[in-house]
């Protein structure tokens, strides 16, 4: 059910109401076998024809599809390729082989606060982070009151970020990233930040997105989160699909 058909086109996605298609996706990292970091060394190695690379397939021949409006979990051990897969969906990494098709606005909720600047104020950082997500200055201005309110940092918004606690930064990060409902939300192990009150707020917001039709893909080590939130799940191991389907079955196989 979740493995993609052999051939498909964009029209099929529109007709069949899928939001994410992965077909035969592989991601290859080329790691130089011997460490060389500089031009000089590179030139020497090149002359000696000693430039050897280690090929590392982070994701190997992965095909699956995610239905519009569903919550889809990705589980697996550290380094199994979970985050790499999210990066392929988020267009950060171009797959070495295979094809990725997504429909709609993709919002990554990866590593909250990436791109935050500690000398700038909270407000300035909101502008920075929001435009990093592809929004315009104007749109951010419009969203600003809501972002500040959700993050619960009204009194500190014009103080430099270096005066913030880790929890406050995480709150601001989530608030900015989730200020607009995307069509596809990518969540990479971020629900572990902040206190339980804020975690609940985050979950509530994600649930409301889902109720409005957002497709959610979650990467997590927390099986409770996965089981309570997702409809379907994918277990990936060494870059390859181990199991895919109903969330309970997949989690049972993974933990069993």
Partner 1 sequence: MTDEIQATKEIYDSSKRPHPLIEEFLTLIKYRDLLYQFVSSSIKTRYKRSFLGVIWTLLNPLLMMVVLTLVFTNLFRFAIQYYPVYLLSGLILWNFFSSTTIQALQGMILSGGLLNRIYVPKSVFTFSALGTGLVNLTISLVPLFAITLFLGMKIHLSILIMPLAILLLAIFSLGIGLILAAAAVYFADMLPVYEVILTLWMYATPIIYPADILPADRVWLLKLNPMYYLLQVFRRPLYEGVVPGWGEWAIAASVALAVFIAGSLIFTSKINEYAYRT
Residues at the site binding partner 1, with contacts judged by CB under 8 A: 10, 13-14, 29-30, 37-40, 42, 87-88, 90-95, 98-106, 108, 110-111, 114-115, 117, 119-120, 124, 127-128, 131-137, 140, 183, 213
Min dist CB 8 to partner 1, Å, is 11
Give the DSSP H/E element, type plus range, for residue 109. Answer: strand 106-110
Give the DSSP H/E element, type plus range, for residue 255. Answer: helix 247-255
Beta strand spans in 120-188 (E): 184-188
Min dist CB 39 to partner 1, Å, is 5
Min dist CB 130 to partner 1, Å, is 9
Of the two residues 38 and 256, which places its CB atom closer to partner 1 in the complex?
Answer: 38
Is residue 210 within 8 A of residue 216, CB to CB? The reply is yes
Of the two residues 56 and 146, which places its CB atom closer to partner 1 in the complex?
Answer: 56
Min dist CB 25 to partner 1, Å, is 8
**How many CB atoms sit inside 10 A of residue 208's CB?**
11
Where do we find the tokens 């917001």?
Answer: 205
Measure CA of the first residue to CA of the last residue in the chain; give whole Å. Answer: 23
Measuring CA to CA, which residue among 144, 210, 207 is closest to residue 179?
A: 144
Of the two residues 216 and 233, which places its CB atom closer to partner 1 in the complex?
Answer: 216
Of the two residues 29 and 207, which places its CB atom closer to partner 1 in the complex?
Answer: 29
């Amino acid at each position: 059910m979740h493995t993609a058909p052999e051939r498909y086109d964009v029209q099929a996605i529109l007709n069949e109401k899928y939001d994410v298609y992965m077909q035969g996706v592989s991601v290859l990292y080329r790691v130089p076998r011997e460490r060389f970091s500089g031009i000089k060394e590179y030139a020497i190695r090149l002359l000696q024809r000693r430039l050897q690379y280690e090929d590392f397939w982070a994701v190997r021949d992965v095909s699956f599809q995610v239905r519009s409006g569903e919550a889809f979990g990705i589980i697996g051990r550290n380094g199994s390729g979970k985050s790499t897969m999210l990066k392929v969906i988020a267009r950060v990494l171009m797959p070495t082989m295979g094809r990725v098709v997504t429909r709609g606005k993709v919002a990554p909720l990866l590593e909250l606060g990436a791109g935050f600047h500690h000398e700038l104020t909270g407000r300035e950082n909101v502008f920075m982070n929001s435009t990093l997500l592809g929004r315009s200055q104007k749109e951010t201005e419009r969203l600003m009151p809501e972002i500040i309110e959700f993050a619960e940092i009204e009194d500190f918004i014009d103080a430099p970020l270096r005066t913030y606690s880790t929890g406050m930064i995480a709150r601001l990060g989530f608030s900015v990233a989730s200020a607009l409902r995307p069509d596809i939300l990518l969540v990479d192990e971020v629900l572990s930040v902040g206190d339980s009150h804020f975690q609940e707020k985050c979950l509530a917001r994600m649930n409301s997105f889902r109720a409005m039709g957002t497709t959610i893909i979650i990467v997590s080590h927390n099986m409770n989160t996965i089981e309570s939130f997702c409809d379907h799940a994918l277990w990936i191991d060494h870059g390859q699909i181990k199991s895919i389907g109903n969330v309970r079955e997949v989690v049972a196989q993974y933990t069993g």
